[in-house]
Chains A and B, each alone.
Chain A
Amino acid sequence: MSSRPKSLLAPGHRGCAGCCDAMAAKFTLMASGEDCIVINPTGCLEVMTTPYPESSWEVPWIHSLFENTAAVASGIEAALKAKGKIGKTKIIAMGGDGSTLDIGIRSISGAFERGHDFTYVCIDNEAYMNTGVQRSGATPFNASTTTSPAGKVSFGNQRPKKNMPAIIAAHGSPYIATTSVAYPKDMIRKVKMANETVGPTYIHAHAPCTTGWGFDTSKTVEIGKLAVETALWPMFEMEDGEITKVRKIKNPKPVEDYLKMQRRFKHLFTMKGGEEEIKKIQVIADKNVVDFGL
């Protein structure tokens, strides 16, 4: 018998090979067990796991809309509370970066401010993948997407990623953690920690998307690790607004190692001036090293 927890995301879903969403969902369920209710916004995860009349979810699951996941979660929490069932069943909202950082931020802000006892997991693959790789507020600097394409006069997306963990921290969340699907143990531990913490908690999981980022389907984990090893994705935990734990990197790798494996950054290696742009990305990584004490 395996000691690994049972997977509550049944096989047969329509996710791509190497899909980061499926990994994130699986790890979240491993951490949460059978006694949980999952809320998804519209997005890849919802579409690929519930083609009616099939469902991959072996736990109660609901999808309402794109921008209201946290509100739906708060209603579920209120219902369980009203019926005297709160405390045991974990309530887990799980949305992509678009629904979390952009269109759903109002309902997230409301739910965190109200202090519902639930966990929000953001699966951050840094663009609107379900609709065809359009730019979101989580798209990194200089990434080429279908709505921020690199072109003769553009290196792609010109804005840095929105700092969602800081926004959640400003709401007074008792537990916030960044993680990555490339580190299953880390992610499972942090989701467990979030589940066990009373109040609204937040997990921000970096999630390399084979289709949207343009890399071989076997490389999801490798790319995810490189994001961490280059210091472009700092992994930390915050309790009551203070950073309490940081995953240290001994010798940060140059950002080129991460960028060169992805189609979305390919233009930086082919366009005139690309080298300078890569340097700007290195500055972001270097700043992370200092800011988070990586």
Chain B
Amino acid sequence: MTATNSVNMEKMVVVEGSYSVAHSVKVCRPNVISAYPITPQTHIVEDLSQFMADGEIPDCEYLNVESEFSAISALVGASAAGARTYSATTSQGLELMHEVLFNVSGMRLPVVMTVVNRAVSAPINIWNDHQDSISQRDTGWIQLYAEDTQEIADMTAQAFKIAEDKDVLLPAMICMDGFILSHVYEPVVLLEQDLVDQYLPPFEPEFLLDTKNPMSFGAFADPSTYTEFRYLQEKAMDVALFKIEDAADEFNKLFGRYYGGLIEEYNTEDADIIIMAMGSIIGTLKDVIDAHRTKGEKIGLLKVRSFRPFPKLAIKKVIKDAKMIVVLDKNISIGLNEGALFTETKSCLYNTNIDVPVAGYMIGHGGRDIPVSTIEKIIDEAKNAMKTGIDIESQFTDVREELL
């Protein structure tokens, strides 16, 4: 389904992407926010801190912790004690949280966290790519990726709804491209408190740390029981596949905006070539595709919103009749020479009767600009590959040979 976003000039305000997120968090009525500052996440936590200082988030505690490790750990305790919980981080901060991320999902705590995507060190680099969150893909968190500042604002409310659903109870990472979305000023509709209150019910968990009904969280599971914990997490991800769609649909009904559920399709119906990607690059791709469509070229776009759970069925349904698939990844699995979306797209086509060539391009590492000319070059190569087959299955893009 294609995005439907009515432009409501009366309601729109020009704010920074980070502010749109902070505002959404505020109207979602969190009880505990815990965060540690790291570029380019800082503006979100600064805005939230200001809301706290102005008394605009009732029944909420904000913890200025001493590390990202404690930021997420504090939310383990807070969520288990029945609080709606939020954090934001990026890059090194997210990597420092790694151990705790498994713990949050293993205990089925529906923490929501914005990841302002940034490259990881070394070499140190503060600009955008997706290596940080992609490297956490196996931690049992839902991972959603936003295209623009309105989508990340809207996705924030959706994430709480999905994560806290009693049939899901999984933490959710909502990802926005560092600087490109976090620091850009764009017109957005800030989420209305009354509508959010209709959309998002209070968090009332069935299991919590309650002195009237003592329960033990985080017990020791030996080989006779451990497997089932993992199995149930996977089953919850299956449920999340539906809940992510539902959350987007319900949001559309109330707010009149829709950015896709698990995926968004853009001119895919009759497309020969379908480009797949996640995050802010989608905007550039839509422009490029519009230009090609005016020339009558059948090029479409498949935006992946949900990377975890990975929407195999939805993706297969869209790409099955195309002649060529191109996947753009702002990350790499070093030693495999592939980006994650590429690898996983290929993998979901195996053992099926879908026979479509898939080419991968790793692009925009460490914030390297992705100009239209680069996309055009990739499209040209895809056109050739349609005729002659894939020359190179997966490759780096725009490598500066003179630096090697």
Task: Give A contacts to B, CB under 8 Å.
Answer: 34-37, 39, 46-47, 50-53, 55, 57-65, 67-68, 70-84, 89, 106-107, 109-111, 113-114
Contact A52 B103 (CB under 8 A): no
Given known pairs A37-B209, A68-B73, the reply for A110 and B65 (CB within 8 Å) is yes
Q: Which of B60, B76, B214 contacts A72 (CB 8 A)?
A: B76
Q: Write the chain A residue with the least CB distance to B77.
A: A75
> CB of B391 within 8 A of chain A?
no
> Do A64 and B220 have beta carbons less than 8 Å apart?
no
Indicate whether B150 reaches chain A with its CB closer than 8 angstroms: no
Nearest-CB distance from A199 to chain B (Å)? 16
Report whether A114 and B64 are in contact in the complex, using a CB–CB cutoff of 8 Å: yes
Q: Which of B61, B70, B79, B214 contacts A68 (CB 8 A)?
A: B70
Assuming A50-B219, A114-B63, is B214 touching A58 (CB within 8 A)? yes
| Listed A/B pairs (15) with beta-carbon separation below 8 Å | A47-B220, A50-B220, A55-B216, A57-B216, A62-B77, A71-B76, A72-B76, A75-B32, A75-B79, A76-B81, A78-B34, A79-B31, A79-B79, A83-B83, A110-B65
A52→B76 contact, CB < 8 A: no
CB pair A71–B65 under 8 Å, yes or no, is yes
A62/B67 in contact, CB under 8 A? no
Leading 7 A-B pairs by shortest Cβ distance = A75-B77, A110-B66, A75-B74, A68-B73, A71-B73, A71-B70, A79-B81
Chain A minimum-CB-distance residue to B69: A68
The answer to whether the Cβ of B215 comes within 8 Å of any Cβ in the partner chain is: yes
Q: By the criterion of a CB under 8 Å from any partner CB, how many residues of chain B are at the interface?
A: 42
CB distance from B215 to the nearest CB of A (A): 6
Q: Which residues of B contact A62 (CB under 8 A)?
A: 76-77, 80, 209, 216-218
**Whole-angstrom distance between the Cβ of A65 and the nearest chain B Cβ:** 6
Assembly CA distance A61 to B70 (angstroms): 19
Residues of A within 8 A of B227 (CB): none
**Cα distance A36–B34 when bound, in Å?**
23
On whether the beta carbons of A107 and B61 are closer than 8 Å, the reply is: no
Q: How far is the CB of B238 from chain A (nearest CB, A)?
A: 23
Q: Which residues of A contact B59 (CB under 8 A)?
A: 82-84
Asked if B74 contacts A74 (CB within 8 A), the reply is yes
CB distance from B52 to the nearest CB of A (A): 11
Residues of A within 8 A of B76 (CB): 62, 64, 68, 71-72, 75
Contact of B82 with A by CB under 8 A: yes
**B100–A65 CB distance below 8 A:** yes
Instruction: Tell whether B99 is near chain A: CB-to-CB under 8 Å.
Output: yes
Q: Are B217 and A68 in touch, CB under 8 angstroms?
A: no
Q: Which residue of A lies closest to B224 (CB)?
A: A52
**8 Å CB contacts to A: which residues of B55-108?**
59-61, 63-67, 69-70, 73-83, 85, 99-100, 103, 107
Query: Which residues of chain B are within 8 angstroms of A77 by Cβ–Cβ distance?
Result: 77
Is the Cβ of A60 less than 8 Å from the Cβ of B210? yes
Pairwise interchain contact B221-A52, C-beta atoms closer than 8 A: yes
